[in-house]
Amino acid sequence: MLDFAMPILIVDDFQTMVRIVRNLLEQIGFHDIDEAPDGESALAKLKLKQYGLVISDWNMEPMSGFELVQLVRANPAFNTMRFIMVTAESKTESVIAAKRAGVDNYIVKPFNAQILKAKIEATCGNG
């Protein structure tokens, strides 16, 4: 059962992608959604609010989603937070690197509401 009240942070430097992910999340039933344009901004927001889930793009400047997940996983304050990485990279080595860094799940672009919901259920559904 998904917790639709769970706060979610979308991290992406491409505003169109942020809008797409926000719209998909709202279609699924989530409404407590914040956004950050890069990893540094995301870290600042994570210190101010307890998010249940971060959905982050991989390729961003100045801090990538990969660097962000490494910092999140290194901080004990964030150890219950789930992390889904979104990327156009479907290469096996990228998926393995993301998993090793502490990503809970991985979505390859393009995706739709059903795929996003299935990934969130697989990641957060037991709460």
Which fold is adopted by the domain 8-122? Rossmann fold (3.40.50)
Residue 127 above 50 pLDDT? no
The percentage of the chain sitting over the pLDDT mark of 90, rounded to a whole number, equals: 81
- pLDDT bracket for residue 67 (50, 70, 90): very high
Over residues 85-107, mean pLDDT: 90
- Per-residue pLDDT at 126 exceeds 80: no
List of residues 6+ apart from 105 with CB closer than 8 A: 82, 83, 84, 85, 119, 122, 123
**Prediction pTM value:** 0.95
pLDDT, tens digit, 9 for 90 and up, residues 28-66 = 999 999 999 999 999 999 999 999 999 999 999 889 999
Q: What distance in Å separates the CA atoms of residue 25 and residue 23, rounded to the nearest whole number?
A: 5
Mean pLDDT of 97-115: 94
Cα distance between residue 19 and residue 22, in whole Å: 5
Residue 39 pairs with which residues in a beta bridge?
none
Q: Residue ranges per domain, the chain?
A: 8-122
Summarize the confidence of residues 17-26 as an average pLDDT. 97
